[in-house]
Chain A
Amino acid sequence: MISFRSNTRLYQTLAAKAYARNIQYRGSHLLHNFASAAFGYLYACIWIGLGRDHSLGDYGTIGMLHYITFTQTSLWVASFTTMGLGIPQSVRTGQIALDLMRPVHLFAHLMAKEWGQIAYQFLYKSIPIYIVMQLALGLTPIDGGRTLPLALTALAGAAYMAICMNYMMGISALWTTESSWLYWGNQALMNLLAGFFIPLEWLPGWLQTVAWASPYPFMLYAPTQFYLGKGDPVLLLGTLAWCAALTLLCMLSTKALRHKVEVQGG
């Protein structure tokens, strides 16, 4: 039986190594942030343009600029995680067989590495993009930053959900060579159902129902509502419930993976 608890130091080391590997390229990644901030600025321009002709509900134009700034910033934690946690490449090279032989659970092993990646992305991508967009749009943190702790807690839950979803997408590589499409499909759903560009209450009723039946609103919309000071803390229970459900699904899919994997020579 593989133990989760006894390997705490190993998981910490894996996360630290993933963080350290990324930090080698921080100069290049900081440049990359301009592209991401440009995207955010573009979406902000669309809301500024719309705000000239229409009232933007409870948010107002400034509220929507805050909204877009926070969702664009959060993407690097809740959405732009490693495609399939690297499982598709492991399947292609046969490395997956060795990974399954390790005395640590595959999910915990890959999750630990991904937490290192996410910590790096938060520090070197999310924070710089947040600062650039605040400066470019002339904003200041809402309520002097007092809404941030709750928003970041919800975002940490979103990061965990992103890890789980990527793990399951990665595992699909055992059945299809096109698992990358699942990643892009997931990104598209994040844009639509997580409220990346449009607050969920503006979606048509049927789409709101679909969205709230999925984990997506808890990945961007809920953290953003906390940031804007509009979120009900009860929303955190939803995050917690989805984290538990997705963990269970990850465990079940690992079982399916173990049955499916076969080694063909070397």
Chain B
Amino acid sequence: MNERRATDRQASLRNYIKLYLILIRTSVRSRMQYRFNFAFGTVLAAIIQLSEFLMIAIVLAKFGAVRGWTMHEVGYLFAVMTLAKTLYRTFGNEVHNLERYLVEGELDQLLTKPLPVLLSLLPRGFRIMFGEVIQGGAILAWSLGQMLHSGQISWWAIPQTIFAIVTGGVVLFAIGMATATCGFWTTRISMLQNMTEDAAQTAARYPLTLYPGWMSGLLLTAIPVGLVGYLPALYILRGELGLWVFPVLAAASCLVVLLALRFWKFGISKYQSTGS
């Protein structure tokens, strides 16, 4: 009996994954119907990202270092955060846009589908963010290249960085989902997103030692954006802490996403439609 239940569960998981991939393909196809718009958006996204990095680069060019962190090290923090955010927004953009579903009552339609809400929600906003990938990848390649050349880091830094980007993406997704869940009570979440996503991610592009103790503590625990770039960079770039950073990052990202999922489930059980 138990074996049969386990087989059924595996089969339904396989079906969900298959369905998820089909929905993603549909979403990509619909976007590619407007090729000029796609190219236009990609170019502008890259320019926006570049201008954001220029702002940081200019500060570093003017002052040399930020609290002992060189331009390449801060470039690394910026690039890891950009790529982790890109990963989160590629797969989880609709979680970030949940307010629209709540305000316009679109969530009610998703609730009537014979699928978990997250599964029908996530593929809708799937988008390929070439602009961000190109720009984040270029800054990462530049900063890693310079540090490899100077002997500050070894080639091991590359797989370690990829690991940090993946766990970072998961952490950002968890923060985004937990923030969005508050919308089941408050409906409007943009203000909260400004604090937990926009401001927090901007803060974590710089070394956390810039901030007062209470703020860096907050960015490592309550809104753990410090786990995305800063914590792995301490080991990968500066040889501080130890190899234990990686299992800790893996465990922390699993923990935050599980907590966020539980919160989401609880939140959705309390959801009341805004009506139409």
Contacts of A35 in B (CB 8 A): 191-192, 194-195, 199
Chain B contributes a number of interface residues (CB within 8 A of A) equal to 38
B96 to chain A, nearest CB (A): 14
Which residues of chain A are near B199, meaning CB under 8 Å?
Answer: 35, 38-39, 42
* A-B interface contact total, Cβ < 8 Å: 92
- Residue A241 at the B interface, CB < 8 A? no
- Which residues from 58 to 97 on chain B have a C-beta closer than 8 Å to any C-beta of chain A? 58-59, 61-67
Q: Is the CB of B52 within 8 A of A28?
A: no
Contact A45 B212 (CB under 8 A): yes
Cβ proximity bits A173-207 to B, threshold 8 Å, 1 near / 0 not:
00011100110110111011000011000111001
- Cβ proximity bits B104-121 to A, threshold 8 Å, 1 near / 0 not: 000000000000000000
Q: With an 8 A cutoff between CB atoms, is B40 at the interface?
A: yes
CA distance A189 to B47 in the complex (A): 9
Given the interface pairs A182-B44, A188-B51, A192-B51, the reply to whether A49 lies near B58 with Cβ below 8 Å is no
* B44 contact from A28, A46, A184, Cβ within 8 A: A184
- B202 is an interface residue with CB less than 8 A from chain A: yes
Is A188 touching B203 in the complex (CB atoms < 8 A)? no
Nearest B-chain residue to A198, judged by Cβ = B58
Known A-B contacts A28-B188, A45-B211, A188-B48; A50 and B195 likewise in contact (beta carbons under 8 Å): no
Residues of A near B64 (CB, < 8 A) are 54
Is B41's beta carbon under 8 Å from chain A?
yes
Rounded to whole Å, the gap between the CB of B219 and the closest CB of chain A is: 10
Chain A residues with CB under 8 A of B155: none
| Known pairs A45-B215, A178-B40; A191 contacts B45 (CB<8 A) | no
Grouping DSSP codes into helix (H, G, I), strand (E, B) and loop, the A interface class, with mixed when no group exceeds half, is helix
Does B210 interact with chain A (Cβ within 8 Å)? yes
- In the complex, A185 Cα to B203 Cα: how many Å? 21
Residues of chain A contacted by B212 (CB below 8 angstroms)? 45
Q: Is there contact, CB below 8 Å, between B52 and A191?
A: yes
With A36-B194, A42-B202 known as contacts, the answer to whether A54 contacts B63 (CB < 8 A) is yes
Q: Does B184 contact A (CB under 8 A)?
A: no
Does B22 sit within 8 A of A, measured CB to CB?
Answer: no
Does B156 have its Cβ within 8 Å of any Cβ on chain A?
no
Is A189 a contact partner of B63 (Cβ separation < 8 A)? Answer: no
Check A177–B55 contact: CB distance below 8 A.
Answer: no
Cβ-neighbour of B47 out of A28, A46, A52, A188 (below 8 A): A188
Q: Are B63 and A53 in contact (CB under 8 A)?
A: yes
- Asked if B206 CB lies within 8 Å of chain A CBs, one says yes
Within A157-186, the residues touching B (CB, 8 Å) are 176-178, 181-182, 184-185
Contact with A along B5-48 (1 / 0, CB 8 A): 00000000000000000000000000000101100110011011
A-B pairs with beta carbons under 8 Å apart, 18 shown: A35-B191, A35-B199, A39-B194, A39-B199, A42-B203, A45-B210, A49-B206, A50-B59, A50-B210, A53-B65, A177-B34, A178-B44, A181-B44, A191-B51, A191-B52, A192-B51, A192-B55, A207-B58
Q: Which 10 A-B pairs have the closest CB atoms?
A: A49-B210, A35-B194, A181-B44, A188-B48, A188-B51, A178-B37, A192-B51, A178-B41, A32-B191, A54-B63
Given A34-B195, A178-B40, output 17 extra A-B contacts at Cβ < 8 Å: A32-B194, A34-B191, A35-B194, A38-B195, A39-B198, A45-B210, A45-B215, A49-B211, A53-B67, A54-B64, A178-B44, A181-B40, A184-B44, A191-B52, A198-B55, A202-B62, A203-B58
